[in-house]
Structure 1
Amino acid sequence: MTAAGCPGHSPAAVSTGRSVTGDPLLSGVATVVVTRPANQAAALSDPLRAAGAPVLELPTLAIQPIELDPAQRQRVLDLDHYDFVICVSPNAAQLGLEALADYWPQWPVRQQWLAVGPATGAAMADWGLNLKVAQQGATSETLLDWPELQQLHQRRVLILRGEGGRETLGQTLRQRGARVDYLELYRRVCPDTDLTPLLRALDAGPVILTVTSGDGLRNLMTLAGPDLDRLRLCPLVVVSGRLAQFAREQGFADLWQARSPSAADMIQTIASIEKREP
């Protein structure tokens, strides 16, 4: 998706960062700020650089694994009791599969694993699972239209997620008859990030912000402190309508929604920002 009134996008050669003519897709005029956790930034930063953008990695979110309590550990031991296992993020997939594999050298048979988004699916791809991936969208609600999740009487579902995640998916599945449990594997914390490089970039020229979660945006606003109003003037690329609405409520007006968090879709959206009429 794009901002209202923006031109459509061509998918040509986005993965290489170059157009069909071989030219970089991005002008290189604006610095693109990547706010993903430090260990996940390269998946967006490297394609952005290949597309011609100067990139500033500024992590506004850190992933902190948490130790499973006795109730959560019991859910790991009871893995074969669940009909469906849903991973809502790459972090949930990575940490959850590592924890489960310690107890389950072979996965339970006839168990369906579901992944929210291609990035989560990629994190699960090499584990030998009976896996189905929601290819479009970046929210857990994407799964709710799937036929296998409509009638869930006496079915059990385990959702792998971070601490205090959104309840919409679990609540809806319960309304459809499922018994839903959570395996909470990490918490999202605000890192001790120095904003000086961002302030220098703002002084030097145009800046485009990218944010892929509400927590990341909240932390960016906290870190900005008295400079928050300067950030609100920058184009902000988000990855869902829900996140766009939240950003709008926080005073960001120049909002652009990418089709997904993938590097290809983010680059296409940034290219549209650069091509718009001044």
Structure 2
Amino acid sequence: MAVLITRPGEQGQALCQLLNTAGTSAFYLPLLKITSGKDFYNAKKELADVDIVIAVSPNAVTFTQQALSGIWPRKSTYIAVGHKTAHALSKHNQQNVHYPDVSDSEHLLELKQLSKVNGKKIIILRGNGGRELIRNTLLARGAQVSYLEIYRRENITFDADIETVSWKNNRIKQIVITSLGQLNHFVSQLSQTQKNWVVTLQLFVPSQRIATEAKQLGFLDVITTSSASNKDLLAALKPK
């Protein structure tokens, strides 16, 4: 039995290596490539006078670190969506970073640092799209909220005719997909016949929101890991 890893970049490659080391065959099919976003060169100016900075992913932290040349504003309050993002952010800006115990938008919005934000200026570091719930909720609480598209996700197409044959030959039984956008892109590449087979595989996703969408797309066995960290994904994928 083997697992197909679709998360992009170093995180996906690292997860494959961890699984192979643990004795589980892992195959890598990144669905995205990550590049600098349209606001990359404006980051220093935009972040100069901000009350709260919210980072939604390690990629958001990495690209902002590059854009700022490592010099982060000292007066802002920093918040991250999850532990891994918070660790990366704290490592780079050398400041305290707040984050929820559960890595999703809903739990982030429950943080006390975001409970009274009327009139405060908030910037969300993100890619091209996503996290509308955070913005809309904070706007409703009276904050001034802007996105900073610091990086950009671009879908990678694949030849489903070739890949599905390979997956069957390699006895792929599990798939890891870590975002809703990647899930929809993945399914869009498949013919109906290919999809009919793929939805019988066990799918691992980091949140209930993605799990709900996956079931609506026809997936029969969806496991929610409650986190997109490689540690939690590895724990969920290890044979019990």
Q: Structure 1 residues 194, 135: closer, same or farther in 2, change over 3 A?
A: farther
Once residues 145 and 86 of structure 2 are traced to their aligned partners in structure 1, the CA distance between those partners, rounded to angstroms, is: 21
Structure 2: which amino acid aligns with 1:141? E
Report % sequence identity. Answer: 31
What is aligned with 1:84?
52
Letter in 2 for 1:260: S
What does 1:20-35 align with in structure 2 at a 5 Å threshold?
30-35=1-6
Which of 57, 65, 68 is matched with 2:39 structurally? 68
Question: Match for residue 143 of structure 1?
Answer: 108
Q: Corresponding residue for 2:124?
A: 159
| 1:198 positional shift | 4.4
What are the superposed Cα offsets for residues 194-225 of structure 1, whole Å, 9 maximum, x if unpaired?
44344323245351011100111112112223
Number of equivalent positions: 238
Of 119, 131, 134, the residue aligned with 1:169 is: 134
Q: Check the 8 A contact 1:59/1:193 in 2, yes or no.
A: no
Q: Distance in 1 between matches of 2:110 and 2:11?
A: 29
Aligned-partner residue type, residue 128 of structure 1: N
Q: How does 1:189-268 map to 2 (within 5 A)?
A: 189-195=154-160, 196-226=162-192, 227-268=194-235
The unaligned stretches of length 5 or more in structure 2 are none
TM-score (norm 2): 0.89
Aligned to 1:132: 97
CA contact 2:33–2:153 (8 Å) conserved in 1: yes
Between the aligned partners of 2:46 and 2:182, the Cα distance in structure 1 is 33
Report the AA paired with residue 45 of structure 1: C
The question of 1:119 aligning with 2:119 is answered no
Opposite residue 96 of structure 2, the aligned amino acid is: L
Kept in 1, the 8 Å contact 2:19–2:26? The answer is yes
Conserved? CA contact 1:136–1:260, under 8 Å:
no
**Residue 6 of structure 1: aligned partner:** none
SS at match of 2:59: helix
Deviation at residue 44 of structure 1 after TM alignment = 1.2
Query: 1:148-196: CA deviations, max 9, x gaps?
Result: 2111122111110111223110111111121111101233222133443
Q: 1:106 to 1:34 in 2, by over 3 A?
A: closer
1:97 aligned residue (65, 72, 94): 65
- Deviation sequence 1:231-265 (CA, Å, 0-9, x none): 10100011100000110111111111113122232
SS in 1 for 2:109: helix
Larger fraction in strand: 2
Task: List structure 1 runs of 4+ shifted beyond 6 angstroms.
Answer: none
Root mean square deviation of aligned Cα: 2.2
1:213 and 1:111 map into 2 onto residues whose CA distance is 28
Alpha-carbon contact 2:100-2:107 (below 8 Å) kept: no
Give distance in 2, aligned partners of 1:178 and 1:129: 26
Q: Does 1:179 align with 2:147?
A: no
* Partner in structure 2 of residue 58 of structure 1: 29
Cα distance, 1:92 vs. partner?
1.2
The answer to whether structure 1 residue 43 and structure 2 residue 9 are counterparts is no
CA contact (8 A) 1:61 1:215 kept: no
User: Which deviates more from structure 2 when the two are superposed, residues 43-52 or residues 258-267?
Assistant: 258-267
Matching residue of 1:20 = none
* Deviation for aligned residue 1:95: 1.1
Q: State the distance in 2 between where 1:266 and 1:240 align.
A: 12
- My pick for the range that moved more, 185-194 or 152-161, is 185-194
Matches of 2:100 and 2:14, distance apart in 1: 17
Structure 1, unaligned runs of 5 or more: 1-29
